[in-house]
């Protein structure tokens, strides 16, 4: 499936909204603001924000109502990357084809930039032009996905497992938290903006769970098959750090078979919907076939 032509429109609008949401580079404290902008602007697949727009479109939400959750989920994702790249975490020096924040600036500034991006995300939701009920639902969804029951918990499990072999169940649990939780939140926030009922939310959660795992399986494959130039980040890090990966546990053929299984699950979850789900289908396809 070709990329949906709406993706470029949504991504361009998002870039403008992110630029406006971030503090101006010239205002004090200039170093912190410059680091925040370095982390967020001018790069990345914007997969999570696109999921907000795509799931909202499925439920026929007003597109203007989707900007705030799209901004928020991208700010949370950017903060997580800044902190993941720190020497105390993955210790990486390349992200989105440019120096990581602690390399471009310094470690202390990177920590503060990540903290500031996280709080800005929740500020954007709390002040969004939406009903109080919707704002609270968005805030609760994103907070749960970001904390110990989501992304931070998954990162902690990843750190604990470094240097040891995990079981397949443990690996899937870790990635369901580290990667999948924020992807599920993105899909759910878009659907909430469209007034999704409980049954629809459950079905879209199933799609998002399969997508999040597919994204990680593909990541593990690319870490072996792609170059640093293709990825925009350091290739081969998982092997160098003796991390459990899907190719390590299943073999490359098994990992690719897992991707095909997840592809089928995503298609099954969206089967009841008509062309309104085409953007979600295209994002699922992108997760399966992406090259960076």
Q: Which domain holds residue 231?
A: 6-277
Residue burial 93-109, b: 16+ Cβ < 10 Å; e: rest? ebbbeeebbbbbbeeeb
Q: What number of other Cβ atoms are within 10 A of residue 41's Cβ?
A: 14
Beta strands in 44-181 (DSSP E): 94-95, 98-99
Please report the pLDDT score of residue 108 as a whole number: 97
Q: For 67-124, how does the pLDDT look when each residue is reduced to its tens digit (9 = 90+)?
A: 999 999 999 999 999 999 999 998 899 898 899 999 999 999 999 999 999 999 999 9
Please report the pLDDT score of residue 44 as a whole number: 84
**Site of tokens 């170059």:** 227
Q: Is the pTM of this model over 0.85?
A: yes
- 212 burial (CB, 10 Å; 0-12 / 13-18 / 19+) is buried
- Residue 288 domain-assigned? no
**Residue 271 DSSP SS3:** coil
- Residue 17 domain-assigned? yes
Please tell me the total count of domains within the chain. 1
Distance of CA 142 to the CA centre of its chain: 12
CATH number at residue 48: 1.10.600.10
- Residue 1 domain-assigned? no
Cα-based torsion angle of the residue sequence 19, 2, 197, 123 in order, rounded to the nearest 10 degrees: -10
- Residue 240 domain-assigned? yes
Please report the pLDDT score of residue 235 as a whole number: 52
Please report the pLDDT score of residue 110 as a whole number: 97
**What distance in Å separates the CA atoms of residue 23 and residue 39, rounded to the nearest whole number?**
13
CB-CB contact of 215 with 179 (8 Å): yes
**What distance in Å separates the CA atoms of residue 144 and residue 152, rounded to the nearest whole number?**
10
CB-CB contact of 43 with 79 (8 Å): no
**What distance in Å separates the CA atoms of residue 208 and residue 181, rounded to the nearest whole number?**
9
**What distance in Å separates the CA atoms of residue 163 and residue 4, rounded to the nearest whole number?**
40
Residues of the chain scoring pLDDT < 50: 1
- Residue 286 domain-assigned? no
Beta strands in the chain (DSSP E): 94-95, 98-99
Please report the pLDDT score of residue 238 as a whole number: 59
- Residue 291 domain-assigned? no
- Residue 165 domain-assigned? yes
- Residue 284 domain-assigned? no
Token pair in block for residue 259 = 């991707």
Q: What number of other Cβ atoms are within 10 A of residue 65's Cβ?
A: 18
Residues 6+ apart with CB under 8 A from 131: none
């Amino acid at each position: 499936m070709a990329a949906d032509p709406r993706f470029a429109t949504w991504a361009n609008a998002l870039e403008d909204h992110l630029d406006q949401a971030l503090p101006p580079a010239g205002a004090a404290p200039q170093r912190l603001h410059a680091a925040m902008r370095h982390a967020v602007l001018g790069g990345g697949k914007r997969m999570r924000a696109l999921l907000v727009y795509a799931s909202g479109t499925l439920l026929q939400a007003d597109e203007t109502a989707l900007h705030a959750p799209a901004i928020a989920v991208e700010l949370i994702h950017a903060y997580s990357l800044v902190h993941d790249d720190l020497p105390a975490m993955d210790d990486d020096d390349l992200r989105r084809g440019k120096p990581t924040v602690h390399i471009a600036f310094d470690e202390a500034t990177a920590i503060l930039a990540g903290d500031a991006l996280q709080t800005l995300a929740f500020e954007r939701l709390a002040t969004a032009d939406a009903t109080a009920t919707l704002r609270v639902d968005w805030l609760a969804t994103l907070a749960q996905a970001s904390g110990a029951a989501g992304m931070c918990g998954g990162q902690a499990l990843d750190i604990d497992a470094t240097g040891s072999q995990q079981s397949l169940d443990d690996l899937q649990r870790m990635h369901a938290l580290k990667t999948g939780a924020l992807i599920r939140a993105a899909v759910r926030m878009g659907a909430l903006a469209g007034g999704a009922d409980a049954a629809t939310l459950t079905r879209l959660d199933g799609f998002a769970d399969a997508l999040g795992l597919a994204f990680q399986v593909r990541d593990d494959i690319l870490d072996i098959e792609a170059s640093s130039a293709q990825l925009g980040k350091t290739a081969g890090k998982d092997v160098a750090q003796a991390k459990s990966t899907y190719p390590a546990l299943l073999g490359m053929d098994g990992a690719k078979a897992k991707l095909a299984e997840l592809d089928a699950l995503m298609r099954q979850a969206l089967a009841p919907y008509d062309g309104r789900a085409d953007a979600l289908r295209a994002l699922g396809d992108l997760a399966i076939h992406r090259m960076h």
